[in-house]
Amino acid sequence: MTTNSSGAESIPSPHDQLTAHVTLVANMLGASPPRVADHTVAGQNLRCLQLTLPGPVSLLLVASAGYPLAAPLCLVEGPDGAFRPVALPWAVEKSSERCLLQALGAVIAPPLDAEASSEATFTSGFGLPGAPGLLTTDPDRAEQAGWQPRISPQSATDLAEQARQARFSRSSGLLGRDLEQARVVIVGCGSVGSNLAELLVRQGLGHITVIDPDHIEPSNLSRTTYQWSDCGKAKADALVRRLMAVQPWVVADGHCADIHALPPAQIDKLIDNADLVVGATDDPAAQNLLNRHCYAAGIPAVYLGCYDGAAGGEVIMVVPDAQTPCLRCAAPVRVQLEADAGQVGRNRDYGSGRLEGVVALGCDILHLTTMGAKVALALLCRQRRIVEAHLTTWLDQLLATNQIYLTASMEPDFWFYPRIFTDIPGQHAWQSLCLAVDGDDHCPVCGQHRIDPHLRAESPDLAALRGTTEGA
């Protein structure tokens, strides 16, 4: 309050209140007093204050006569010198001074505190409101992840190293930090693919590419990692943003594309330099397409599939350099089991040939997904030669005997399992087996006379190959 010539108290103008509040912030942060300028825009009187923090890093606050009921416009100077707007959270029920201090906590990290911040040196970048430090100084990466401009005394590099130390603290001896250098390509971002991608990234995977042609619908939310605000977005793009929210330093790339519509050369480019490819589509033709390209390129692959209603499922791993049989050779194993113990296949949508969506519990799908994630992690440790990883011992035992076909039951009395576990007490559900697969010397994918995966669709050889594999 101030006193006028008659001795009565008068309320400071909105512009003077803002100047006083920003000056308080400057004192708390050890900055020089703000630069003040008044402008009239479209008949509105605006006050502009530039606050330069030690670093130096600047932010601009622009207020109308509605302050403090209305939030000021805030613009933060980025690492590239450009000023970008930030929406300030504004709680008008608080005192105007506290309101500004709390709002700037969404921009300046850590929250404003005189003892903690008075001697700090600040840098600018991008991050999440309320979260510690900066996540990146790259505007394009920030836009991809949905991060906003921020100012912090802690650089993005410092925070990344702290997070790196914590990321592997609870998997010591099981995994290794070389996973940060590994790259995985996942085709299919549905209930299996989205959850598997998140599991791998949480364990420390450093590079991931996800591919899916579909967009998110409300029906997808019961079994995937997506949320309501993602509805209508491309699955690949939404999954990339989700993964970067979980692990901000992952290098993630999304492609909204149908793998069938891509030229062979583009498929090769997408899987080039991958340590592992995961086929998580509900389309067997897509799995077989990946099988041809991955085996020809010598890239290990994991193929996951749920049986009807997720009562069971399969995880098939193919490792060319270990000379395992391919996915096509593994398919007859299921075909024979179906002939012996009943059909487990799912219905197809008439016209598209794709598998219909089924009623299934998310937890049953996750059971299969976690199996696939463990296989994927083991293969990555093998590829990156992470010798301290215990998973490689388990994997080598399977590969030595071509036990590449893992099948699981999530319900009692399902498929052929009762025949195997009949005399074992307590067998009701969650049964699993690792089955050995024999290679076929005549297989056009992994046999003696292989067909080039780059053959055009109209090629008689490829047409014959498709005719023998697509229905399996």
**pLDDT, tens digit, 9 for 90 and up, residues 437-451:** 999 999 999 998 888
Minimal CA–CA distance to 74: which of 287, 82, 83, 66?
A: 83
**Considering the entire predicted model, what is its pTM?**
0.84
Quote the pLDDT of residue 340: 63
Mean pLDDT on 339-348: 54
Domain shared by 418 and 283, yes or no: yes
Q: What is the mean pLDDT of residues 98-109?
A: 84
H or E stretch covering 268: helix 264-271
DSSP H or E stretch at residue 35: strand 35-41
150 and 229 inside one domain = no
Rounded to whole angstroms, the Cα distance separating 459 from 199 reads: 39
Judge whether 211 lies within some domain: yes
CA dist., res. 144 & res. 126, Å (int): 11
Tokens 């069971």 locate to 312
Residue 235 lies in a domain: yes
Q: What is the mean pLDDT of residues 410-438?
A: 84
Phi, psi for 409 (deg, rounded to 5): -115, 135
Q: Are 275 and 184 in contact (CB under 8 A)?
A: yes
User: Is 334 in the same domain as 393?
Assistant: yes
Q: Which residue has the higher pLDDT, 429 or 299?
A: 299
What range does the domain containing 221 cover? Answer: 177-469
Binning pLDDT at 50, 70 and 90, where does residue 460 land? very low
Backbone phi, then psi, for 220, in 5-degree steps? -75, -20
3-state SS, residue 385:
coil
**Whether residues 406 and 348 fall in one domain:** yes
301-305, 310-314, 433-437, 467-471: segment of lowest average pLDDT: 467-471
Query: In terms of domains, do 157 and 186 share one?
Result: no
Predicted confidence (pLDDT) at residue 411 exceeds the cutoff of 70: yes
Residue 370: inside a domain: yes
414 pLDDT higher than 90 = no
Distance of alpha carbon 241 from alpha carbon 239, whole angstroms = 5
Which one is predicted more confidently, 357 or 290? 290
Strand 276-279 versus strand 183-187 pairing type: parallel
Give the sign of the dihedral formed by CA 136, CA 140, CA 143, CA 145.
negative
Domain assignment present for 215: yes
Q: HSE-up of 262 (CA within 13 Å, CB side)?
A: 22
Better pLDDT: 119 or 464? 119
Query: Please, are residues 123 and 152 in contact by the beta-carbon 8 Å criterion?
Result: yes
> Is residue 387 located within the same domain as residue 285?
yes
Which pLDDT score, from 0 to 100, does residue 34 have? 93
Last residue of a domain, one of 162, 191, 226: 162
Give the C-alpha separation, 466 to 233, whole Å.
32
Alpha-carbon radius of gyration of the chain: 29
Q: Per mean pLDDT, which range of 92-106, 200-214, 224-238, 290-304 is the poorest?
A: 92-106
Q: Is the pLDDT of residue 182 over 90?
A: yes
Query: What's the whole-number mean pLDDT along residues 139-154?
Result: 90
Distance CA 141, CA 143 (A): 5
Tokens of 134: 């900066």
196 and 90 within one domain: no
* Whether residue 317 sits in one domain with residue 464: yes
Q: How many Cβ atoms from other residues are within 10 Å of residue 165's Cβ?
A: 9
Are 301 and 246 members of one domain? yes
**Residue 281 within any structural domain of the chain:** yes
More reliable by pLDDT, 39 or 256 = 256
Strand partners, 123: 152
Predicted confidence at residue 48, as pLDDT, reads 94
So what's the pLDDT on residue 334? 67
pLDDT of residue 211: 98
Domain assignment of residue 346, yes or no: yes
Can you tell me which residue has the tokens 């490819």? 277
What is the signed CA dihedral for 229, 233, 239, 244, rounded to 10 degrees?
Answer: -70
Q: Could you please report the per-residue DSSP string of 42-55?
A: TTEEEEEEEEEETT
| E strands in 197-283 | 207-211, 251-255, 276-279
Structural element, H or E, at residue 311: none
Contact status, residue 29 vs residue 58, Cβ threshold 8 Å: no
Q: Which residue has the higher pLDDT, 449 or 236?
A: 236
pLDDT tier for residue 110 given thresholds of 50, 70 and 90:
low
Within-domain flag for 336: yes
User: What mean pLDDT value characterizes the chain?
Assistant: 84
Q: Is the pLDDT of residue 387 over 80?
A: no
CATH (domain of 354): 3.40.50.720
pLDDT (0 to 100) of residue 46: 92
Instruction: Work out how many domains the chain is built from and give that number.
Output: 2
2 has a pLDDT exceeding 80: no
What's the pLDDT score for residue 337?
66
Element housing 59 (H / E): strand 57-63
* Of the candidate ranges 64-73, 90-99, 348-357, 445-454, the one whose mean pLDDT is the lowest: 348-357
pLDDT given at position 94: 65
Residue 168 domain flag = no
What pLDDT was estimated at residue 111? Answer: 56
Residue 126 and residue 183 in one domain: no
**In the predicted structure, residue 386 carries a pLDDT above the cut 90:** no
Domain shared by 127 and 256, yes or no: no
Shared domain check, 372 and 316: yes
What's the mean pLDDT in 185-207? 96
Over the stretch 53-71, which tens digit does the pLDDT of each residue have?
888 899 999 999 889 888 9
Q: 3-state class of 172 per DSSP?
A: strand
**pLDDT of res. 472:** 36
Mean of the pLDDT values across residues 130-140? 86
